[in-house]
Structure 1
């Protein structure tokens, strides 16, 4: 009969296995582990009976409870769509004043428009509408086509120099390329435009002032402050789309400019366009 060895410290029997002087005790499996195994197996058996479980070729066992997560998800989506259709309809039909006066609608408009801006506008206008060279900044109160929600919505809807039949249209002529002005005249006009940060001086009959009034005032205004709604920017402020240094102004006068924004009427719904307009109006601080 083999003599079973006991561990001198714990008094437990050993298995006889030895790993570099370390002997394995022959302890029983803890009852809690056995209990856990029993409970989990019982749960598995019950789940097999009550829940959808086993694949059967083209189908599966449905379980006694008849639970169908696909149907539940479809029902959840249907409920969400029904709720969404109500406030989306309001976004498309209610006046901007009514929407602004409703905190719940405005909160939904902003929450929905933020990702819309990121998906459709951010690539050109920058994060949070900060703009960039050739793309206007939207996070300020300078708008050449108007900064109210109604005007912004129209710009989004029809675009600027786009293929929409009602597009907003504006073009800076190429005075040099099309030989409307000589190079010396362009140089003189460039120098004059650089002085416009101080505004147009009354009674100024300098060559640059005369060239400006004859060639530029019709669009940019006699005071050079632009004409909102025509696409002609203010030349007396610090907001310049293509640069306000002499080289940028000279290039603009020689080659002209024709910025383009696509029409979003075929990509965004009326409700989405109006929510974006409210979002941008708020972003620019133009909201009443």
Structure 2
């Protein structure tokens, strides 16, 4: 087969190569391929010149445009800071009631507070703020120290049984372990407490045990929980007549609480969070009650 011979079927010129009777046609690379290849090379050269591209030991070529990711991020952070400063100043200047009455500000509180809560509070109170054993349910609207936003703001600042010098302090005595109550007294007072309304299975207990437990309660518990067992906000003691139990309202949990005592801890957030962030968080956790209703 000769070079330049035309294939009788296609009419195209052949290359002169033949394998087992198969002739190779001369089909050059389309010019469009060379065009795009040239454009690609030109683009690469321009990028190398204009943008950061080549490593130079500990540094790199900056490019004529001086564009890099650090510059872009710094600019975005600066813009976000300026935008955020507008509403953070309003939050600083407005009181809690004014913010709660402003739908636009509460929208900001909801968005920012959700992030703050997830980053700082969800580890203990849960992502939905419903708490768990040892950690209060913040959506229930039941507050040991009071549910006013100013009170919650202060609790966030100083904590409970924390390292802050002004911390709120609260502790349940270990009535069984310390020998204050014997086993019968402990069982009776647990029966009485569970009959107050906090548990459905405690209301049908032995009346004699309930009566005996009430006497034990009067002698040992009213100083903190009150004559009506509804707790005291100034001491941070819980209401024993509702259905909210921090450590559980079943027989074993309540018995363990009375026997061993309890001392929950909430850290102080004064050093970690700014006053503005704590103000947002106080308003945010209060709004969770409204969403849960």
> What TM bracket, shorter-length normalisation?
0.7 to 0.9
TM-score with structure 2 setting the length: 0.82
Question: 1:262: which partner in 2?
Answer: 267
Q: Distance in 2 between matches of 1:244 and 1:61?
A: 65
Q: Aligned to 1:195, what secondary structure does the other structure show?
A: helix
Q: Distance in 2 between matches of 1:266 and 1:46?
A: 50
Change in Cα spacing, 1:8 to 1:187, as seen in structure 2 (3 Å) is farther
Post-superposition offset of 1:142: 1.6
Q: Aligned to 1:119, what secondary structure does the other structure show?
A: helix
Question: 1:231: which partner in 2?
Answer: 236
- Any residues of structure 2 matched to 1:173-184 within 5 Å, and which? 173-184=173-184
Q: Distance in 2 between matches of 1:61 and 1:270?
A: 41
C-alpha RMSD of the superposition? 3.1
Contact 2:48 2:63 in 1 (8 A): no
Post-superposition offset of 1:137: 1.0
- Any residues of structure 2 matched to 1:77-88 within 5 Å, and which? 77-88=77-88
Change in Cα spacing, 1:39 to 1:188, as seen in structure 2 (3 Å) is same
Change in Cα spacing, 1:9 to 1:185, as seen in structure 2 (3 Å) is farther
Post-superposition offset of 1:277: 1.1
Aligned length: 281
Q: Which has the higher contact order (CA 8 A, sep 6+)?
A: 1
Question: 2:67: which partner in 1?
Answer: 68
Q: Distance in 2 between matches of 1:112 and 1:241?
A: 27
Q: Distance in 2 between matches of 1:2 and 1:153?
A: 95
Post-superposition offset of 1:31: 2.9
Deviations, residues 88-133 of structure 1 (Å, cap 9, x unaligned) = 2333342112223333432222222212211211111111112111
TM-score with structure 1 setting the length: 0.83
Using the TM superposition, name which of 69-78 and 123-132 deviates more. 69-78
Change in Cα spacing, 1:11 to 1:45, as seen in structure 2 (3 Å) is same
